Amino acid sequence: MGRMPDDSFTTRILHIETGSAESVRDLTGDCEQFLREAAAGGDGLLNIFVPHATAGIAIIETGAGSDEDLLAALHGLLPADDRWQHRHGSPGHGRDHVLPAFVAPHATLPVIGGRLELGTWQSVCLVDTNIDNANRQVRLSFLG
């Protein structure tokens, strides 16, 4: 974790193993743990950023099928076939490079009293359709 002298900015990198299958990985607990230390009960903003060209951050419901529905919708929009100009990697990998145009590689969320202000059913999720890269980084940054 790095801090600026005035303690108004704190950042941490999460190292996430996504495996060899497409995934929607819930990061809400990781974000909350980071904020317990970084926000110390204060107000501010949490930025979540994925420094990868083939992954994104989504704020969605998980556990009730929405995560699987998101992957299914992405399959419909971005099929893993040979239509893509970007052709290295596994078949259809070019679509993974288009993913961040649909699922942005970042999100900024309000933090009030040291806690994420998410809706009842909202979770912070890493969306990764790239089966060629199982090692991901996610940068959490708190500005308070």
Q: Which of 52, 56, 126, 130 is nearest to 92 (CA)?
A: 130
Strands (E), the chain: 2-3, 9-17, 23-26, 44-49, 55-60, 106-112, 115-116, 123-128, 135-143
Is this structure's pTM higher than 0.85? yes
Domains of the chain with bracketed CATH: 2-143 (2.60.120.460)
Q: How many CB atoms are closer than 10 A to CB 75?
A: 14
- Over residues 118-125, the mean pLDDT reads 96
Model pLDDT for residues 30-54, shown as the tens digit of each residue:
999 999 999 999 999 999 999 999 9
pLDDT of res. 5: 47
Residue-wise pLDDT tens digits, 76-109: 999 989 898 887 888 888 999 999 999 999 999 9
- Pairing of the two strands 55-60 and 123-128: antiparallel
Q: Are 47 and 143 in contact (CB under 8 A)?
A: yes
pLDDT at 140 over 80: yes
Distance CA 135, CA 16 (A): 6
45 forms beta bridges with 110, 143
- Determine the pLDDT at residue 96: 92
Please compute Rg for the chain using Cα positions: 16
The vertex-13 CA angle with 38 and 103, nearest 5°, equals: 105
